[in-house]
Every structure is written in C-alpha cells, then in structure tokens.
Structure 1
Amino acid sequence: MRVLITGAGGQLAQALLSVVQVATDARLNTCNTSQQLLLDMLPEITECIEVDDNVKGFVKEQLNICCQESIQSAFDEFAPDVVINCAAYNAVDNAEQKPTQAIAINEQGPKLLALECKARNIKLVHISTDFVFDGALSTAYTEQDLPSPLSVYGQSKLNGERAVAEVLGSDAMIIRTSWLYSCWGTNFVTTMQRLLATKERLAIIDDQTGSPTWCEALAVVIFKLIKQKADSEVSAASKMPAPARRNDVASHLLNNAELYHYAAAESCTWFELTKQIQKLMCAIHSSHRASLTCELEPITSEIWQSWHQARLATRPVQSALCAAKINSQLMVSEHSMLTAPWPQQLQAMLKYQALLNL
C-alpha cells in the first residue's frame, strides 16, 4: 500500500513517519535503543505496517493542500492508495483576528484534497479536533454528539470535516483527536518542559479540561484503521455483497463518512497536565531536578484573557473525547498503551524523548 502524508513538518506526521521507520528496522533487526523502547511500548507497530507498504511525507513546499495543481503534481509523483491529511492551521487565537488562513487550510484545502482523491479513487484519512465541541457536555464526547464550535478555528475544522465527507462519503475516515503532544516540534508538553526548566513561577489555566494524547499512539491507531479498511475491502471483494447495514455516524456528517474519536483515556486540566509533566521530568531526567523549584499557580481562563489585549479564542471548558468506538472496532487490548490513561502515555513519551536526547 502506498500512503501519502501531508503536513510532513508537523508533529503528527513526524510521529507517523517514526512509527514506519521503527516497523522497517524491526523487521531488519536493526532497531536502536530508542526504537526498541517505542516498539516495546507500542508492539502493534509491526502488526499495522506491512513489509511492502510505502509511506512518504510531503511538506508544504512539496504539496500545498490549498493549491489544486500542487496536489495533482504530488499525486502524479507518488500515486498514493491512501492519503493522511495532517496539514492544518492550529494557531487557535490568531485565527480569531485573521480567519482567512484558517479557513483556507482547514476547510478549503481538505475539500481540494478530497476532490482529487475522489477523481483517483484514493482513500482519505482526515485529522480533526475536539474543538468542534462547545464543552457543554459533562462527560467525554462521542461521535454521536452534536458539534457546536466556539471559535473560528473550531468552525473551520468542522467545515473541513463536512467538506471531506460530502465529497468522499465512505471513502473518508475522519478522526477527531485532543490535546496532541510529542517529542517532535513545539507543543504544550515541550513548551512546559522548557519553561519549567527556566522559570521560577508559571500560571497555568485550570478551568479547561481535555484528553492529552500522545502522537505516536494516534499514529498506530491511524495505521491500524487503514489496514483494517484495506483488509475488509479485500475480503468483501471475494464474497457476495453483504446486506447494507446502518451506519452509526451522526446525522450532522454527510454521506456515510466514517467518523472516529481517538484520545488517551481520562482527562485533566492544563494545570494538572503541567503538574504531571513536572513530576515526570524530575523522575526521568536527573538533570531536570531544577524543575521542582518552579512554582505552579492555577488560574482561570478569564484571568488569562485579562493579561492579553487582543481577544483570545473561546475554548470549550470540557472537550475530552471518548475513544470507545475506535478501540472496539480495532479490537485494542485494554492493556495496550493505545487505551492507557493520559499520565501513562505522557510517561511513555518522556521516556522515549530521553533516549532520543531531544
């Protein structure tokens, strides 16, 4: 299978590519120490990537999802069977002041990708966000819950979902995820690591709740889903057509696109996440004992806004995602890192990062 990844400079794309490299090296028995650790923590890696799979990442300069000619050129070059769209505009606050770029990348770009995928009979995996919800629900959101974005960013991502679904129908797999972090690039965890090591005091928002999710875990889930889809189509092609079954995708998504939520189990606030980062940094990295001296202060979103002149994006107070559907469909073990609570995934990421010396 040939898999093309857009947005290859981003953290999720980097995680996808690192997982592929580990699978390749594992078959050759050439894994280094960090790769072996990742394989030990996520043994599903070798099950979801076949020996003849060809996975390639394209950065924006190679494939600009907002340009049809660029998409066509990249598809001509690589001839993918599946596209994973990791390209996104994630500057949530900036989108409030300058929405044009968010709309172009999160809404119009995915539609262009979907149109080209449809013309060439290519499957599309589109990554979306928990910010399509308003946070009014007290429990973790399922695929059946109605989206109601509070921000330009959230609305642009929801519109992107709908555009992809309308064009591709069942050839689209849309995965919403939450509070992504990794050892690649800049994200909340790597930012807090830097600040904890250099600041005496940090004020962290404590009235927004979500599900922190490790990119490498999501990467494995994506590849498992792609493999399951491919295997089921091969199986179906060799049998008589099965009776049509009811699709359980919520009615607000068009055309029977497959919709999934994936996030680590359990939830926390940004403040609670930062406390856990600090605790684990000190446990894993002896050189980071200084992080213990940084005092953490919980604050409200209202206080955080008062420290900024520009109006910040309104975020959901609770946007945890329920991954029960995708974990069940993929038959993920309850003992797997893929179903682990967020503190366990965070610890795994930090151990992996330590061996990478990042």
Structure 2
Amino acid sequence: MRWLITGSKGQLGTDLQTVLADTPSDVVHAVDVDVLDITDSTAVQAVMEQFAPDVIVNAAAYTAVDRAEEDEDTAYAVNATGPAVLAAAAARAGIRLIHVSTDYVFAGDANRPYEVDDEPAPKSAYGRTKLAGERAVRELLPETGYVVRTAWVYGAGGGNFVKTMARLEKTKDTITVVDDQRGSPTWSFDLAVALVELARSDAPAAIYHCTGTGDITWFAFAQAIFTRLGADPARVLPTTSEAYGMAANRPTYSVLSDRTWREAGLNPMPEWSDALSRAFATVGESLRGA
C-alpha cells in the first residue's frame, strides 16, 4: 500500500511512519510544510502524480490555538484550504483521504460524550477552521473521505502537554493546572495505529471519533504525569480556566463517543491511563525532554 502522509514532522506524522515501518509492503512518502505546501494545488497534484498514493493521511494542522485568535487567516489556510486541496486531489485520483480533526469543533458544554452527528458549535478560531476543513473533506469526498476527530494528543515528537508538565516539574516547586476542563488524553502512537487500521478496513467513509478511552481533567492528568515522573502529584494545584486566562475559549467538556468507530468493526482505543504508562515505558526519555 502506498501512503502519502502530510505533517510528517509532527507527533502523529512521526508515529504514523513508525507504525508503517513494520510492514515491508507499505511504501510511505512523508512530507512536511518544508517539502509540500498543502494549500498549493499545483504542488499537491505534482506529488500525487509522482508518487501515486493509495491513501492520504492528513496529519498537518495549525494547532496554535491562542495564536489563531489573532491569525485566523493562516489557521484557515492550513486547517481548511489545505484539506480541501488534498480532498480535491484525492477525488481526481479516486483514493481515500483520512483527515484528522479535533474536539474543538464542539461548544464543549455537553454533559455526555459527543456523538459524531451532534451539532458542531466551535467557540474558537481554531475550532472554526478545523470544522471548515472537515466539511470540505466530506463534501468533496463523500465516498472516500474520512474525518477522524481526536483530542488531547501527546507523543514523542513535537510539543505537547505531557512534555510541558515534565519540563515544569524540573523547574517549579508547584504548578497550577485547570480543573474545569474534561477530556480524553490520546497517545499519538495509539492514534497512529488506529488510523492505519481504519485505512486498511472496509469501514464506510464518515466522521469518526478516536481518543483514548475514559476521561479526566487537565489537573488530574497533570497529577498522573507527575506520578509517572516519580514526582509528588501534590505539587500540582488546581485552578480555573477563568483564573488561568487564555486568549481562546477551550471546551469545558470535550469527551468524544467512539460508538460509530466500534460499530464499524474497528478496535476501541486503549484506556488513557494505560496508554500514558506505556508511553513513558517506551518513549519516556523523549517525553521527559531528555
């Protein structure tokens, strides 16, 4: 199988390459923005003709949530225009596109896990641009366009919450973390395994949710990270989103239901706590910033 992976230097793009390296019959062409601008239709079409992929996995995204409030045009280009360009190219080639999206497309005020067909209502520029990308993929590729929403992703590559907590543990006596936002931590390696499974499956083209199983607040997640670091979790103190102060609105509740994922015959994601332990056991040095 021939795979075109965009966003290859990010944590998910890196892990996708790791997962696919285990199958000799897979041929991977992994590109990042320094090689391919996904908003450039001419450049994308050239790569498509040169490499002739069987599937595209779009792991490229503008994820600077707060910065997007002041630079929505750039976020839109990467999160909406780029997926539309890739979807159009996939349509011409008659191949699948798996596009990774986010919990931020929802308002975040629910009291039960969001289903895939719940009404999106993003409260941030980041969420609006990601929703626009979702809609472009599904409109342009109704039969071969897959949107996979995930949340709270961390991994060995790039910057993420786990690495930030590990860095602060070394430099601060105590830290404060918001305790009024709830979601599902997702190890990027597990997500990569799941996306590869989806691409190889006969699951219908649709929107899916794929996160670590279970849910927790950022505060409790930080305490769990401190425990894996061998540090005292009591050094993590709770605070509120209002007191913390951030430019962009974050979803208060962003737990995503995986019902349609399981109904499609796909394997449920591992439980978040087990995944965190496995992540520290296998890529702990990277998570610690060593």
**TM-score by structure 2 length?**
0.94
Q: CA deviation at 1:326?
A: 1.2
Corresponding residue for residue 237 of structure 2: 297
Q: 3-state DSSP class of the match of 1:313?
A: coil
Partners of 1:293 and 1:344 in 2: CA distance? 18
Contact 1:62/1:74 (<8 A) preserved: no
Q: 3-state DSSP class of the match of 2:149?
A: strand
Contact 2:9/2:32 (<8 A) preserved: yes
Residue 322 (structure 1) aligned with residue 257 (structure 2):
yes
Corresponding residue for residue 62 of structure 1: 35
Partners of 1:101 and 1:330 in 2: CA distance? 37
Partners of 1:82 and 1:265 in 2: CA distance? 27
Q: 3-state DSSP class of the match of 1:141?
A: coil
What does the per-residue CA deviation read over 1:258-306, in whole Å, with 9 as the maximum and x for residues that have no partner?
1100011111111110000001111xxxxxxxx338721111010011x
Partners of 2:193 and 2:206 in 1: CA distance? 18
Partners of 1:352 and 1:91 in 2: CA distance? 27
Residues 355/100 of structure 1: CA separation in 2 closer, same or farther (3 Å cut): closer
Partners of 1:67 and 1:339 in 2: CA distance? 34
Residues 293/215 of structure 1: CA separation in 2 closer, same or farther (3 Å cut): closer
Residue 2 (structure 1) aligned with residue 2 (structure 2):
yes
Q: Which has the larger radius of gyration?
A: 1
Q: 3-state DSSP class of the match of 2:69?
A: helix
Corresponding residue for residue 181 of structure 2: 208
- Give the counterpart of 2:99 among 102, 126, 146: 126
Q: 3-state DSSP class of the match of 1:276?
A: helix
Corresponding residue for residue 227 of structure 1: 200
Residue 270 (structure 1) aligned with residue 218 (structure 2):
yes
Letter paired with 2:260: K
Corresponding residue for residue 340 of structure 1: 270
Gaps of 5+ in 1: 25-50, 233-246, 248-256, 283-290, 306-310, 333-337
Letter paired with 2:93: R
Partners of 1:277 and 1:133 in 2: CA distance? 27
Contact 1:181/1:213 (<8 A) preserved: yes
Higher percent of residues as helix: 1
User: In angstroms, what is the RMSD of aligned CA positions?
Assistant: 1.8
Q: Which region of structure 1 is more displaced relative to structure 2, 319-328 or 75-84?
A: 319-328
Corresponding residue for residue 283 of structure 2: 353
Partners of 1:185 and 1:155 in 2: CA distance? 23
What is the percentage of aligned positions where both structures have the same residue? 37
Partners of 2:142 and 2:126 in 1: CA distance? 23
Partners of 1:274 and 1:70 in 2: CA distance? 41
What does the per-residue CA deviation read over 1:198-222, in whole Å, with 9 as the maximum and x for residues that have no partner?
2112111111111100111111111
The equivalences for 1:85-104 within 5 A come to: 85-104=58-77
Corresponding residue for residue 176 of structure 1: 149
Letter paired with 2:81: Q
Q: CA deviation at 1:85?
A: 0.4
Q: CA deviation at 1:330?
A: 3.0
Q: Which region of structure 1 is more displaced relative to structure 2, 271-280 or 70-79?
A: 70-79
Corresponding residue for residue 235 of structure 1: none
Partners of 1:316 and 1:267 in 2: CA distance? 14
Residues 264/293 of structure 1: CA separation in 2 closer, same or farther (3 Å cut): closer
Gaps of 5+ in 2: none
Letter paired with 1:18: T
Contact 2:190/2:270 (<8 A) preserved: no
The equivalences for 1:194-205 within 5 A come to: 194-205=167-178
Partners of 1:12 and 1:340 in 2: CA distance? 16
Structure 1 residue ranges, 4+ long, deviating more than 3 angstroms after superposition: 354-358
Q: Which region of structure 1 is more displaced relative to structure 2, 154-163 or 316-325?
A: 316-325
Q: CA deviation at 1:19?
A: 1.2
Partners of 2:68 and 2:3 in 1: CA distance? 30
**TM-score by structure 1 length?**
0.77
